[in-house]
Each structure stands twice: as C-alpha cells, then as structure tokens.
C-alpha cells in the first residue's frame, strides 16, 4: 500500500511498514528535531509541517497511519481526554477522511486511553469511524514480544474494504514463558525516578521508554546488571530497544540539544511491531469468533475489541502476537551505558525506604552496594564492561 504518515515522529510506523513492503509517500510532523530525522532517512518523501494545514491526502494513498499525540491521553499527562488541545488533533484525521475516504487507517496510542475518562476518548474514536462507514478492531500489543522492552500500546485498525480488520490484528497469539526475577543471573530494568508508588520493574528487559520532561530533560530507565552495577542505557541502545538502527536520531542534534533524542525515542512506535502489522495488512489471517464476548457498559474498554459493521464486541487475546528470540539484556546492550550517579541512587533508595511496595529480595541491597561504590569512586571493572560490550 501507499502510506501517508501523520504525526510521524521519527518514522517508527513508516519504517516498520516499509520493511513489510509498503511505501510511504507523505509524512507530516511538526516538531523540528523529528523532522530532521525523517528528512535524513526519507529524503525523497515530502514532509509536511502542520497537519492542520494539510488540505488533502495524495490521491494514491491507501493507508493513513498516525501515532497521534498522546500527551493528553497519557496517564502521566494532563488527562484532558481526546478533546485536549494536542490529542484533539486526531480530529484532523477525520477531516482528511471526509475529503477522501482512504481504505485503511492505523492509529497508535497509549493503553491508558482505554480507561481514561470512563472510556470517553475511545468512544469518540469508534463513533467517528462508524459514522463514516468503517469497520474497526483494536488490540493492546506489547513490544516485549519483539524486543527486550515492556511497552504496551493500542493498535487501532479501521477499513471500509471487504477485509475484516479482525483478521489483521487477531490472527496471531503466543503465550511466552516470561522469566522470573533472579537478581544474580538476569538484568532487571526499573525507573530510578520512581520508588514510592511504582517501579516499572522488568525482568531481562527495560520498562517503557518514556518521552522525558517537558523541558527536555532525558528520563532513561535504570538497569541493574547481574554483577551489581546500575546503569542507564546509552541512547544508541535505546534506539535499538525500539527497533531502530543505532544513531537513527542523531540528525536531531543538528537542530536541537542531544537530550531531545530521548524524547524522540520515547515517543516512537516500535519498528518490529509496525512490521508485524504491515505483514498482516498484506496477508490477513483468521479470527476465531469464539474469542468474542459482550462489552460491558461500565465504561472501561477491554484490551481488544472489534466492530463488524453491526455490533461491537470484546475479544479475548493477549498482547503477544509473537515472541522473537533475543539475547539476554546484558548481551543485547552494545554500549556500556552510564553508571547511575550517587545522588540518583541515594534519592531512589530514600524513596524505596518510605514506600509500602514489596521489592525483589536483594534488590535494594544491590542498589545500596552500587551507591557505596559510587561514593567511594570505585567504578566497574574493565572486564565487566568488556563482557557487557560484547
């Protein structure tokens, strides 16, 4: 299909779809650092600035995609709902569809949108598509099935063709054997900025890579390595944890501070997730209607649902369409990363001591030992970093 990528960011959706054989013919992105990345990697693809100024889509476009701005829908954002000033930009998608009813639409957003404001944002979305004659399906998909990053996002697929979007999203499911916590054996990702109400704990993986602060301060997760060091990953490994090649976001440094690269990566769609979706768009599979159940009127939406043209139903399915083999996280990382500072370690431990959370046995002791080494000015051994770099 010919693709128009709205709210394109650094091209996660577009890159993954290209790997599945689709061709992007237009992008639209307003943030200058992201535009620099797009223009570097897709120099022959026109990149419009503001979706509000886009009068119409190219006549050959078959598929409109967009990771529309999630700030107002994110649990960590303003929770203003889909009518918020930024997330309300998704209304521009419907304006363009009213100009020409493009056969396929793919939207991506944070999973919190399913419960925000008693599901009102999601109802707004589905009603807008139904009014325009589209059938739809959505599913929460976890990037952990493809990469060592736990990241749940809603993939929403709508079409006015004869193909059932359920055969795109629900054809694949696997039940992976997720590893258990073993402090001495595996790496463990967590958010060092948390510790009171949550941790973002991930075994042999990192928690969801985030946008960072509104003033451009990077917010990388921490990783407790099996030998006891606590690091934050290098930006090049963060890019790889989203499925990009390393230094994908380097062009952003020509127009912005280097820390903006963390926001670009945190906002992106995981490339292999988009590739899987693109492959299923090209070759739909089967959907088992036995998975379906009646939707509750309580307001919160389930992790998957569909509209077949006459009724909405929930679908029982997990977030793992597949499980791609991968090395242990310590082996996945190509760069040593940055040791978590004594100040950051001390602040994190202080919060955990006030918290009522239960932590893995030995976890706080490991972080405390790391803090003591940092205070003493004792870094990791070269042999240990050589192991990590391999």
Name the DSSP class of 1: -
Q: What is the DSSP string of 189-213?
A: EE-TT--SS----EETSB-------
338-339 sheet: strands from edge to edge: 202-203, 188-190, 222-224, 230-232, 338-339
Strand partners for 110: 153
Q: Catalytic: which of 28, 47, 70, 322?
A: 70
* Spatial separation of the C-alpha atoms in residues 241 and 332, rounded to whole Å: 9
Q: What is the DSSP letter of 149?
A: B
- Establish whether 28 is a catalytic residue: no
Helix or strand or coil: residue 244?
A: coil
Cα–Cα distance, 242 to 257 (Å, whole number): 21
With 0-12 / 13-18 / 19 or more C-beta atoms within 10 angstroms meaning exposed / middle / buried, residue 29 is: buried
Those residues with Cβ within 8 angstroms of residue 282's Cβ, 6 or more apart along the chain or in another chain: 1, 20, 21, 22
Q: ∠298-303-307 over CA atoms, to 5°?
A: 80
* Residues acting as catalytic residues: 70
């Amino acid at each position: 299909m010919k693709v128009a990528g709205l709210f394109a960011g650094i091209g996660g959706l577009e890159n993954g779809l290209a790997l599945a054989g689709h061709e992007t013919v237009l992008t639209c992105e307003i943030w200058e650092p992201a535009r620099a990345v797009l223009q570097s990697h897709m120099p022959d693809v026109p990149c419009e600035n503001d979706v509000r100024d886009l009068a119409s889509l190219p006549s050959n476009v078959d598929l409109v995609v967009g990771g529309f701005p999630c700030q107002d829908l994110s649990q960590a954002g303003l929770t203003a709902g889909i009518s918020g000033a930024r997330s309300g930009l998704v209304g521009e998608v419907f304006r363009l569809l009213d100009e020409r009813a493009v056969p396929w639409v793919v939207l991506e957003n944070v999973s919190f949108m399913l419960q925000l404001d008693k599901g009102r944002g999601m109802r707004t979305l589905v009603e807008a598509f139904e009014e325009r004659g589209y059938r739809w399906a959505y599913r929460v998909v976890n990037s952990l099935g493809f990469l060592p990053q736990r990241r749940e996002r809603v993939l929403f697929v709508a079409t006015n063709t004869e193909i059932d979007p359920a055969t795109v999203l629900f054809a694949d499911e696997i039940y992976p054997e997720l590893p258990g916590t073993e402090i001495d054996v595996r790496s463990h990702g967590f958010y060092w900025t948390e510790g009171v109400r949550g941790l973002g704990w991930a075994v042999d993986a990192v928690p969801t890579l985030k946008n960072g602060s509104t003033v451009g301060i990077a917010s990388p997760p921490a990783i407790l390595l099996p030998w006891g060091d606590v690091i934050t990953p290098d930006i090049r490994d963060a890019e790889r944890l989203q499925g990009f090649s390393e230094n994908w976001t380097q062009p952003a440094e020509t127009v912005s501070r280097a820390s903006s690269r963390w926001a670009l990566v945190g906002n992106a769609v995981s490339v292999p997730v988009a590739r899987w979706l693109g492959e299923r768009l090209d070759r739909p599979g089967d959907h088992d209607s036995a998975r379906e159940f009646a939707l509750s009127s309580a307001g919160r939406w389930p992790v998957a649902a569909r509209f077949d043209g006459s009724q909405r139903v929930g679908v029982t399915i997990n977030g793992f369409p597949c499980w791609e083999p991968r090395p242990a996280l310590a082996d996945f990382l190509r760069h040593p990363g940055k040791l978590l500072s004594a100040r950051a370690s001390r602040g994190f431990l202080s919060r955990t001591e006030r918290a009522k959370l239960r932590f893995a046995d030995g976890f706080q002791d490991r972080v405390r030992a790391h803090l003591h080494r940092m205070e003493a000015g004792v870094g990791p051994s070269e042999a240990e970093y050589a192991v990590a770099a391999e």
